[in-house]
Structure 1
């Protein structure tokens, strides 16, 4: 998927200039321009801020409309949708099961390499989210609480609370998570 082109098309469809979108998202005009030209990949938090300004969820942004196809219940590993368009050694991978825009539940397979995080800005969105760490460890910030969770431990919180995920460990961290409704 061409992230920059998709963002540009959405911005224009909503009658926003790059400057207006940047102001609403709390980013610079230059950042929006670089993202639209695919010269930089947005952090999860930056993309979330841009889409909140439109408004649209990350799930909707990456959804492919395939309504003509029969109902699908099972997915192979290569049928998940990557919704964290980053690259590099510390890029977060958020792989979504199915098309969350057609369900009331969003399931993600998340991978955080060492030193990876969701971005310096804390995330907020409507709904609740929960997850279980299956490998490694992750530092989770929710409101004013910070906790390092290890394999087998989990979290559950109101997603309207500011939150952030950061791998401060030396090995990759993997989380299976859920968000309802799918507003992320």
Structure 2
């Protein structure tokens, strides 16, 4: 394990500069740089202070996540069908609602529509795989057809409706707990 690289990776994940990490641990920016480049080794006390700022326990820091799943097969995906509203939703990544992004595949039947969402801080990206859909965002309506994308901040009430005579399919990726 490259301890310096792991400290650097965690610092970047926490969106801290070397200077900010140094200030929070009473260390200099130069010393943090030396640690990250394996040019120096911290005392146990200093190491624990750094881990505390980075939100890690020693056990978490030294646990290797070699079994992290990066590829998800169709068998890993979960489907939900809403017959009344005319759509089928497929979560592409298990437990994605615990992540910062939640990708889903939605198939609309003719006349199908997704539920109405209240305003939120989420950002949403939609790629129209086939057909046509409209986004009703506040008092405005936006149309996108196959191959086009929609990107918006969900700061107003909104919903997605199939605008094609037949089936439409979209890939939707939202931040936060959108769905």
TM-score, with normalisation over the residues of structure 1? 0.54
Q: Is 2:175 the counterpart of 1:177?
A: no
Superposed CA deviations along residues 115-173 of structure 1, whole A, max 9, x for unmatched, are: 00024x45433311011101001121111111221001111111231111111321211
Structure 2 contact 117–159 (Cα < 8 Å) conserved: yes
Q: Is 2:100 the counterpart of 1:115?
A: no
More strand by share: 2
**In structure 1, C-alpha distance between the alignment counterparts of 2:100 and 2:117, rounded to whole Å:** 24
Q: Secondary structure at the match of 1:126?
A: coil
Larger Rg: 2
Structure 1 contact 100–182 (Cα < 8 Å) conserved: no
Q: Secondary structure at the match of 1:78?
A: helix
Aligned with 1:72 (options 69, 72, 90): 69
Q: Is 2:127 the counterpart of 1:132?
A: yes
Unaligned stretches of 5+ in structure 2? Answer: 1-66
Unaligned stretches of 5+ in structure 1? Answer: 1-69
Q: Secondary structure at the match of 1:101?
A: helix
The number of residue pairs the alignment matches comes to 112
TM-score, with normalisation over the residues of structure 2? 0.56
Equivalent residue number for residue 102 of structure 1: 98
Per-residue deviation, 1:87: 2.7
Change (3 A) 1:149 1:78: same
**In structure 2, C-alpha distance between the alignment counterparts of 1:166 and 1:76, rounded to whole Å:** 28
**In structure 2, C-alpha distance between the alignment counterparts of 1:126 and 1:117, rounded to whole Å:** 22
Structure 1 contact 81–96 (Cα < 8 Å) conserved: yes
Equivalent residue number for residue 49 of structure 2: none
**In structure 2, C-alpha distance between the alignment counterparts of 1:76 and 1:156, rounded to whole Å:** 27
